Amino acid sequence: MQKQSLVDSLSVILESETNQILSKSILNTIDANTISEMISTFCQEKLGSPVGACLYVGFSVGASFGLSLLDGRDIFLKVNKPTNKDDINVISLDSLTTISKIQRHLSKNGFPCPKVILDPIDIGIGIVTTNSYEDIGEQKDAHNPSIGMQWQQRFTNLLKVLILIKNKLDLTRERCGPAPHFIQNRTTRYLILKNQLKVLNG
Tens-level pLDDT at each residue, the chain (202 residues): 467 999 999 999 999 999 999 999 999 999 999 999 999 999 999 999 999 999 999 999 999 999 999 999 999 999 999 988 777 778 999 989 989 998 998 898 888 889 999 999 999 999 999 999 997 777 788 788 888 888 888 888 888 777 777 767 666 444 444 444 455 556 555 555 555 555 444 3
> Do residues 120 and 183 both lie within one domain?
no
> Do residues 153 and 124 both lie within one domain?
no
> Do residues 97 and 172 both lie within one domain?
no
Split into its structural domains, the chain has a count of 2
Enclosing H/E stretch for 21: helix 17-27
Among 83, 98, 132, identify where a domain stops: 132
In a domain, 202, yes or no: no
pLDDT at 29: 97
Q: Kindly give, in sequence order, each residue whose CB lies less than 8 Å from that of residue 44, ignoring residues fewer than 6 positions away.
A: 50
Phi, psi of 75 (to 5 degrees): -125, 160
pLDDT, one tens digit per residue, over 80-136 is 999 887 777 789 999 899 899 989 988 988 888 899 999 999 999 999 999 999 977
Enclosing H/E stretch for 54: strand 51-59
> Do residues 98 and 34 both lie within one domain?
yes
pLDDT at 146: 86
Q: What is the CATH number of the domain that holds 72?
A: 3.30.200.20
Q: Is the pTM of this model over 0.85?
A: no
pLDDT at 189: 56
In a domain, 97, yes or no: yes
> Do residues 127 and 151 both lie within one domain?
no
Q: Give the domain extent around 22.
A: 6-132
pLDDT at 76: 98
> Do residues 74 and 163 both lie within one domain?
no
- CA distances (Å), origin 146, targets 141, 149, 155: 10, 5, 14
In a domain, 140, yes or no: no
> Do residues 152 and 115 both lie within one domain?
no
> Do residues 112 and 150 both lie within one domain?
no
- Asked if 159 contacts 191 with a C-beta cutoff of 8 angstroms, the reply is yes
pLDDT at 25: 96
Among 132, 155, 187, identify where a domain stops: 132
> Do residues 55 and 19 both lie within one domain?
yes
pLDDT at 194: 57
> Do residues 67 and 128 both lie within one domain?
yes
